[in-house]
Amino acid sequence: MSILVTGAGGYVGQELTAALLHSTPPETIITITDVVAPRVPPSAAQHASRVRSIQADLTLPQVVDALIKDSNPYDTVYILHGIMSSGAEANFELGIHVNLDATRYILDRLRATMPGVKVIYTSSLAVYGPTPRGFVIDETNIPPMPSSSYGAQKLIVEILLNDYSRRGFLDGRAVRLPTVTVRAGRPTQAASSFASDIIREPFHGRKAILPVSRNTEMWICSPYTVVRNLVHARDIPREAFGETRSVNLPGIKVTVQEMLDALEQIGGRERRALVEERYDPDVDRIVQSWSPNFNTERAKRLGFAEDIPFIENIKQYTSQFAQ
């Protein structure tokens, strides 16, 4: 068995790589790529001999051609790489080049060299635009209408992946992730980065900026559950998806105030005091375009796991990463 993970240098990519190493047979080889050669996750260091870490600029066709070739077929390909929401909004050309053009080239290279390969694509709730207050989204009751370039790029790839799957070119699964928090590591270019920053940074004694109002509602999911569901996505029979390969993954709805209250409950007032409210209209415009209300019954029928309470999410983070 052979698995490819792009964007494996990021936090979710590292956690997914570790989970795959722990859950797959010992003969499985996992190739991990990013613009900087990803490290072997420390939590799976005992499996280092099964990892091929490759520095790869996936916007270069010749690099993709060397990575994806019929002499070295993959059983599953995870596509995690990309320019995040605020980055794609600030630099349209870069977002299009990385999120759309490079990803389409990867899909075309896969269908040419290993037709029918399983492809798991991390999409986003950003494919949906604003909805009426209280409206609950499922995969069929409202068409995606993104209000950001990032969401538009994700949706275009979803449509391609669905069509390629319909035609038998690939076996695609586009999983729409909630905002993933609490992420370890550094702040990112995602508009939602603050959702991790306001928890992570105070636990390391650092100030965090809150760019939206405290009554903002968000659809979030813990990294633990997201990674668990990414691993599960490869085990679902293709016929179970029906007419669409896109699925909204489970999450929970919280307000920013509830997140801050949980921070204070676990970390104390001194850590809560490290969060500074500094409104950013550009970030707020993007975040307010994301619905916090989702019906994920279809995902549950497909066997995806529900998320843990936010308090447990923070406890899990602090047990692994906090000082």
CATH number of the structural domain spanning residue 107: 3.40.50.720
Statement to judge: residues 70 and 22 lie in one domain = yes
Percent of all residues in the chain with a pLDDT value above 70, rounded to a whole number = 99
pLDDT of residue 147: 93
Q: Is a pLDDT exceeding 80 seen at residue 322?
A: no
Statement to judge: residues 144 and 263 lie in one domain = no
Annotation marks residue 224 as catalytic: no
Q: What is the mean pLDDT of residues 19-44?
A: 96
Statement to judge: residues 241 and 267 lie in one domain = no
4 backbone dihedrals φ, ψ, rounded to 5°: -115, 135
pLDDT of residue 185: 86
- DSSP state string for 161-194: HHHHHHTTS-EEEEEEE-EE-S--SS--SSGGGH
> Is position 297 within any domain?
no
Statement to judge: residues 232 and 282 lie in one domain = no
Q: Could you tell me the pLDDT band of residue 265, with boundaries at 50, 70 and 90?
A: very high
pLDDT of residue 323: 58
CA 143, 115, 98 angle in degrees (round to 5)? 55
Statement to judge: residues 209 and 231 lie in one domain = no
Question: For 228, how many CA atoms within 13 A lie in the half-sphere containing its CB?
Answer: 14
What CATH number corresponds to the domain at position 279?
Answer: 3.90.25.10
Catalytic residue among 74, 78, 121, 150: 150
Over residues 276-303, the pLDDT tens digits come to 999 999 999 999 999 999 999 999 999 9
pLDDT of residue 186: 84
Task: Say if residue 210 is exposed, middle or buried (CB neighbours under 10 Å; 0-12, 13-18, 19+).
Answer: buried
pTM listed for this prediction: 0.95
Q: Is a pLDDT exceeding 90 seen at residue 31?
A: yes
Report the domain count for the chain.
2
Over residues 208-256, the pLDDT tens digits come to 999 999 999 999 999 999 999 999 999 999 999 999 999 999 999 999 9
Statement to judge: residues 46 and 161 lie in one domain = yes
Over residues 309-319, the pLDDT tens digits come to 999 999 999 99
Q: What is the mean pLDDT of residues 98-117?
A: 98
Over residues 49-66, the pLDDT tens digits come to 999 999 999 999 999 999
Q: How far apart are CA 310 and CA 301, in angstroms?
A: 23
Best CA proximity match to 77, nearest among 117, 50, 109, 130: 117
Statement to judge: residues 208 and 128 lie in one domain = no
Q: Find the domain containing 258 and state its range.
A: 191-219+252-292+308-320
> Is position 186 within any domain?
no
Q: How far apart are CA 47 and CA 21, in angstroms?
A: 7
**Mean pLDDT of the residues in the chain:** 96
92: number of Cβ within 10 Å: 11
